[in-house]
Structure 1
């Protein structure tokens, strides 16, 4: 075994065998029937059997699946910032995180459409407990983030992942996607956790931390959905947090959330990629003399980029006005849009539970509050 075998995606030499192992799985059949409804099963099976690389698998199958998801469950995907990225160049994309699978899948569709290097993407091993999902994730160039470890195991795992990410970016010229925090943002407040940056810094070797971060080309990414297809599913966890209670997930909760995120209605989606962080890192290195302060400053810099470029939708403004019982942003939406959103609220949660209503509205309203901090500072 090589040191990365426990977490890495398949090598191209392993792809065909992996495909053969899951080609008759009912979930594979369901994915292909959804993606290619007009194509006979034997046809897509033959094409899969002739697939020998991750790139071919992604371009011929996963790309088509994501396009079909967009067609069926959204009103379109818009982008900004991709024209600033250079072809044949690896970047570390640090992104806010709203949807388990789609955040990174949509970014890869955009990278492919712009002729840029697609990513290897971090995914929690708790999400791929089923053999088929683990195989599919490895075929789609995901690497595993190990969860539920003791402090000592976590340290070893972080070192391994940091080294692996460094190898992908600097030796294999492979872009990497990683979320700014462990787990998805449930309350609409996107914030970079210092632990993610500390893990990345473990790979700096002989370089100063900020020099290393310059070498791996950090690009903040902001993704926003007009409707969060998993908004109602996030409520029990938010309620538990509000009441200072420990939240225990149901047995298949992650899988149900994963599925809901893919097929649930999202309306419009926007992805913005920020500038590569360079000058900002020089400033941080000059201003702060210890690693912890540098990490905090970098987390804030990433947050500033993500929050300032976050695309606000009518749903965000409506939720803000409903939550604060005001008409502050009434010029940002129509009465029809407001009625639709209120109908969604009515259908998805118990309106008699004031705390739940408040949490639901805050999930959509918080991005407005966060963005306005920057608008008002100008």
Structure 2
């Protein structure tokens, strides 16, 4: 190949890449071409049509198991035929009531006679512990540091991604939350509720789920230390949860599909951390649309999106399936005291 041809091919490559990236975010181009391939996906609203996810809810409704969707889905059940592979111990560990147990046994007996369902396609699990276990340290051992693999999406707007949880940890958190939610059925404002935040129809404070705060506290403590490095303008030691309802979980499915464009906190310059707990094969659509980038960011299971609370964004509607999130709103103090003063017209209770 001649030097001229090589140079033309190189220029064509650079031009093709530059068309995909907002001109205000040159850091994303530089960072992603010099490191290993990253799984965060940026797309416009005109993305390729996705295949709808199997409608497990309708199948469960037809069997009188409509209240079991959350706990079944979190255990790995994706279609009715998967129920036949639940063991006696797993059904017991789910903690479901006698009525639902009887319906499950009835479905299992019918499916066992159906020759069309002869092999298990997906491993099921009801475990609510183990994924966050760490080695017990001796007196002089140092706590193992997690590599959050922070990448820059847009430096000018402080948008970053990283890896917060492993797949196993995500699945355990999902089982923990759905086990708790099932136990709260019939209890007002417990389980999945719309009483904490106005924008999301299904959310839950992590502190309400037995074992969730202790399971995640080491990772979250280390993440806070990581945030100081990402935002050196923040006063050391000042980052804390915005309120006692943090962190919290959000679930999109059924009629709760997404959120309109909003900011998490326009009154103060705080930090939002948003991790995806669902695999990309568990839902279609979805993602976080960021207005200033005019892009929708779709992450892989366990990845996290980090941005300032005054950044306008939206939860893109899912088309089918279930999308679960782990979210934390962090308050902080900035070295520049002007950034600590509230913008009153943006206050949540401002009446102007």
Instruction: Tell me the TM-score range normalised by the shorter chain.
Output: under 0.3
Larger Rg: 2
* Structure with the larger strand share: 2
> Which structure: greater helix fraction?
1
